[in-house]
């Protein structure tokens, strides 16, 4: 009788573990939940230096033209900037920002693509940097 109870317990435990591990929602290659949201835009943007904000004023974000214009303080090390994006809910950024970014070539804007929560809408934003006084 003990063997049968043990076998039944094992089968019930295995079935509950299998059901508990079943994925109900899809995830992308980064392990992020794919949702039904189609919104896709940059809501906020700023830049950090090694220990502080390096911007003079708030960034100007044009969601129609998909541009971001920002002014950094005079003397900022443009080779070592960490851009910070605030995105619409469930969006993600490509490429990911994993290290300092070099903005020293002011004639060429840097580009990032915002991808919607449903992963169907992609908008590429250009970031233009100027140096203030």
pLDDT in tens, 8-38: 556 555 555 555 555 567 999 989 999 999 9
Which CATH architecture describes the domain 42-131? Sandwich (2.60)
The pLDDT value given to residue 96: 96
The pLDDT value given to residue 133: 84
The pLDDT value given to residue 117: 97
The pLDDT value given to residue 95: 97
List of the chain residues with pLDDT < 50: none
* Segments making up each domain of the chain, as ranges: 42-131
E-assigned strands of 15-121? 42-48, 60-62, 67-72, 82-87, 92-94, 110-115
Say what the pTM is: 0.79
């Amino acid at each position: 009788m003990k063997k049968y109870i043990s076998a039944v317990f094992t089968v019930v435990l295995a079935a509950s573990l299998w059901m508990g591990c079943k994925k109900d929602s899809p995830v992308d290659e980064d392990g992020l939940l794919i949702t039904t949201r189609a919104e896709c835009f940059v809501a906020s943007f700023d830049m950090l230096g090694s220990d502080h904000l390096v911007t003079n004023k708030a960034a100007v974000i044009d969601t129609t033209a998909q541009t971001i214009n920002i002014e950094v303080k005079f003397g900022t090390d443009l080779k070592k900037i960490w851009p910070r994006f605030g995105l619409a809910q469930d969006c993600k950024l490509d490429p990911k920002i994993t290290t300092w970014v070099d903005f020293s070539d002011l004639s060429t804007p840097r580009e990032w693509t915002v991808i919607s929560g449903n992963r169907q809408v992609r908008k590429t934003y250009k970031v233009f940097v100027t140096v203030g006084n």
